[in-house]
Chains A and B, each alone.
Chain A
Amino acid sequence: MNGSAREWWAEHLPWIVIALLGLWLPPAAYAVAVPRSWNDPVTVATVAELTCMSVALPGLFQRHATAWRLLVLSRIVVLVQTLWIVLLNSRLNGFVPTLETRPVVEAAVGLAIASYVLVQVRGLYR
């Protein structure tokens, strides 16, 4: 990634986070509020992920390193959540079929893209 591409990502990262929160927050809030699935580890992990992203938001506009770290933390939470799902489902369906399911593939692709972008823009956050 060249310098201008890094700058573009750093400039637009807060807006991308806002758009993702717009997509992810309502289903999570609904899952917590309506079916009251508080004790489901997947829901807890989703709440933790979205909390990290929401708290990081103001700092992303000002390019604080803390905000960058919170975004990394949110991706680590997703990684743990995905590993938990793989562990749980592979007992029922087998390891390879579980890896081929849509949520796991989506999470893997999303994590790969997010990790690449976050590593690339690290130097722009102080």
Chain B
Amino acid sequence: MTMLRRASGFVCRHAWIAIALFAWAYGVRTSGEAEFRTISAAPFALNLPPQDQYLYSSPFTFFVGSYYQHHGLDYAWAFFVVNALGLAAFFGSLSRLLATERFVNRSAAALVLFTSPLLFVMLSWIGKSDAYLLAFYFMFTLSESRVAQVILAGLMITCHAEMGAVVLGVDWCLTRKRTVAIALGVIAGEAAVFTYTHLLLSPSPDSRVTYAMAHAAELWTIFRSHPFLHLAATLGPFWLYASTRMFRHPVRPVLFAAALTLAAASYDFTRVFVIVSTPMLLVITREVVADSFRDGVISIGRHRLSVCALWPLMFFQFQYAGFRLLFAQGVRVALRG
């Protein structure tokens, strides 16, 4: 028992061990290679079928990939480099953010945060611009310069025109800070994406809203069939920490409901929910680590537990995507509608 406690304490001080173990156990999955190849080869030509054209409103990774391809890399290497740099930026900026005094203990904070499906989402949707979106968000929260904040907020929008704006909106609702930077960044980013999709591309690609409207009936059927499963898939084991802290501030349940609605309007339910809820996950993580640091333990119901003992919970993850549940190593279970 003492050995187990020591081992748990060691992992709690070195979160990278748990992250590496998680990556080994769950594996990494890529998506969207064909679309990446098509857009990055010719970013100013509309070559995707209508059902995939919403990808043009997330141009950041495609432009970086296009730059690499114009400088000699083939598309497979460009895809690898773009996504490897995205993950490096994600982990690097998150590590810097959690190292600030706000989070008290970087390793413990990382283990608490990754009991949510965030790490699973990052590793199973490689090819999406989520890693860059969140890396820019973490840098945005770290930066004290308004000019840098505007640039980073604008870059978030170029990663994902809709989710970028929502993440910034959630951050503003929780903190009520950086109002001007968020407003200017969103305006600049949306203007850049609009210029690209509506002025530089001809004809204009179909938007995500058009896509969601066209599939609204099916998306509603998916959500209605398994509402509790959807609820469980939002935060996974992180519910243990969030269940009581979610109601500490009236704005949090409202933001949760908004994120749930947005996620329900997409096929990548867990992915969308976790990305747009990241500011809230960080706030709750900070509270959990602060409670743990102050009292030595955290209270969950009538139980008092050490945060260090709870890190194995991060290995109980699943995602909801369309009519399927996604588990470790790409295992998928189809659900009946």
**A positions within 8 Å CB-CB of B:** 8, 11-12, 22-23, 26-27, 30-31, 35
Among B75-96, those with CB < 8 Å from A are 77, 81, 85
Contacting residues, chain A, for B72 (C-beta < 8 A): 27, 30-31, 35
Q: How far is the CA of A8 from the CA of B81 in the complex (A)?
A: 29
B147 CB-CB contact with A under 8 Å: yes
Say yes or no: A30 contacts B73, CB within 8 Å: yes
Say yes or no: B145 contacts A27, CB within 8 Å: no
Q: How far is the CA of A11 from the CA of B148 in the complex (A)?
A: 11
Instruction: Identify which of A22, A27, A35 gathers the most chain B CB atoms within 10 Å of its CB.
Output: A27
List 22 interface pairs A-B (beta carbons < 8 Å), by A numbering.
A8-B145, A8-B147, A11-B145, A12-B145, A12-B148, A22-B85, A23-B64, A23-B67, A26-B68, A26-B73, A26-B77, A26-B81, A26-B85, A27-B68, A27-B71, A27-B72, A27-B73, A30-B72, A30-B73, A30-B77, A31-B72, A35-B72
Contacting residues, chain B, for A12 (C-beta < 8 A): 145, 148
**B positions within 8 Å CB-CB of A:** 64, 67-68, 71-73, 77, 81, 85, 145, 147-148
Q: How far is the CA of A30 from the CA of B75 in the complex (A)?
A: 12
Q: Which partner residue on chain B sits nearest A26 by CB separation?
A: B81
A22 to chain B, nearest CB (A): 5
- Beyond the given A8-B147, A11-B145, A35-B72, could you list 12 further A-B residue pairs with CB under 8 A, ordered by the A residue number? A8-B145, A12-B145, A22-B85, A23-B64, A26-B77, A26-B85, A27-B68, A27-B72, A27-B73, A30-B72, A30-B73, A31-B72
Q: Which partner residue on chain A sits nearest B89 by CB separation?
A: A22
Contacting residues, chain A, for B85 (C-beta < 8 A): 22, 26
Q: Which partner residue on chain B sits nearest A27 by CB separation?
A: B71
Q: Which partner residue on chain B sits nearest A22 by CB separation?
A: B85
Contacting residues, chain A, for B81 (C-beta < 8 A): 26
Contacting residues, chain B, for A22 (C-beta < 8 A): 85
Q: How far is the CA of A35 from the CA of B74 in the complex (A)?
A: 12
Contacting residues, chain A, for B145 (C-beta < 8 A): 8, 11-12
Q: Which partner residue on chain A sits nearest B145 by CB separation?
A: A8
Contacting residues, chain A, for B77 (C-beta < 8 A): 26, 30
Q: How far is the CA of A12 from the CA of B85 in the complex (A)?
A: 19
Q: How far is the CA of A22 from the CA of B67 in the complex (A)?
A: 12
Contacting residues, chain A, for B147 (C-beta < 8 A): 8
Q: Which partner residue on chain A sits nearest B78 by CB separation?
A: A26
